[in-house]
Amino acid sequence: MDVQQALNIVWTLIAGMLVFFMQAGFAMVETGFTRAKNAGNIIMKNLMDFSIGSFVFFVIGFGLMFGADWNGLIGTSGFFDPTSLELTAFKDLTPGTFVFFQTVFCATAATIVSGAMAERTKFISYVIYSAVISLFIYPVVGHWIWGGGWLSQMGFIDFAGSTVVHSIGGWAALIGAAILGPRIGKYNKDGSANAIPGHSLTLGALGVFFLWFGWFGFNPGSTLAANGEIGHIAMTTNLAAAVAACTVMVITWIRYKKPDVSMTLNGVLAGLVAITAGCQAVTLWGSIAIGFVSGFIVVFGVELLDKVLKIDDPVGAVAVHCMNGVWGTLAVGLFACYDVGGENEVLGLFFGGGAGQLGVQALGVVSVAAWTIVTTGALFLIIKKTIGLRVSKIEEIEGLDVHEHGAEAYADFVIKG
């Protein structure tokens, strides 16, 4: 093993650890943006989707994603022992390093749904969903794009997962929240929406900073190598997040007469999601443009779901991950102007490359949306018709902590609402 390979292994492992730390970020964001009576339930879901996902992805999911290709659709080898595969990444790194890095990405996709379906979902139903997405739904898309499948063969670009990770989680969140229905008290008889504030902006903000920090492993770490690209990727990642936050602050200040704290925090996440697909391939100014647009998408996306579609998403997961995952993926076809993957230069529409790459990106967006909507829709409906998807009215009113887990997150405090 030479020095460069050793550096690559260390860098990829550190980046994977940063991505793992994002689980704490998701847990804090979702807990802070929901009510105190459900805080323990949120923590438990984030704990178990990583724990369950790690096991089922190791046993089956990794093989479906990176095993021997079958017609560009699915992997067919490496089950129960993913380290038995002969992958280039195993030679460049080590089997354990690469499997670990891919595991933490899989867990990120699974945990996105937790927030959108918060405060009214049965814990056992969530556990089943979490296992299935990590076992099958996520790995199939991962194979299409990162495992040598049909989309990668067409030249589809998703460097770190705007589509593979965030859009899958976002589409699943949208379908799950729609099938589950809104929380009690969210909508009045005339259809108007009521705000149901979370119990701790402090926890929400802490979670956003955790996620922002973790994203410096998520995006730069996707190089799988300690090379000259990681600094540029860190900069595009940071600029998109910062500009998105500034954009949301200004929009809400104008629209609501005061700068909205929770929406601005979600603006950071929107910018991070949007830049993830093209973080390697766009210029610094391109990342600024992507972040700017993502700020508008998250504000008006939340309003669209809340006021028009009447879909109750307590933490804004759909606007952040689904809508901005789509935007970030399409933005590659507009702003790409760098050598992607060290093989060939890809130029977006705004850099003289025509609409070809944009068309491939759009095809990928539609294909992944269709796959995720159909599979998660079927999954949630089956769960709803069998063991049930939603808790009882009294359980929802009194809180999931007590009824689902027999404990309270804030046992020494008086919980209101």
Which pLDDT score is estimated for 56?
97
- pLDDT for 358-395, tens place per residue? 999 999 999 999 999 999 999 999 999 999 999 999 99
Three-class SS of residue 157? coil
Buried b (16+ CB within 10 A) or exposed e, 230-248: bebbbebbbbbbbbbbbbb
pLDDT at position 411 is 81
pLDDT at residue number 344: 57
CA distance 341 to 359: 20
What is the value of pTM for the model shown? 0.95
pLDDT digits (tens, 9 = 90+) for 117-169: 999 999 999 999 999 999 999 999 999 999 999 999 999 999 999 999 999 99
80 phi/psi in degrees, rounded to 5: 70, -15
DSSP sequence for 367-398: HHHHHHHHHHHHHHHHHHHTT-SB--HHHHHH
Beta partners for 312? none
What average pLDDT values come out for the chain (417 residues) when binned by 10 residues?
Answer: 92 97 97 96 96 97 96 96 89 93 94 95 96 97 96 96 97 97 95 93 98 98 94 97 98 97 98 97 96 98 96 97 98 86 74 93 98 98 97 96 93 66
Looking at residue 345, its pLDDT comes to 74
pLDDT number for residue 89 = 82
- Does residue 200 sit in helix, strand or coil? coil
Q: Tokens 């937790």: give the residue.
A: 114
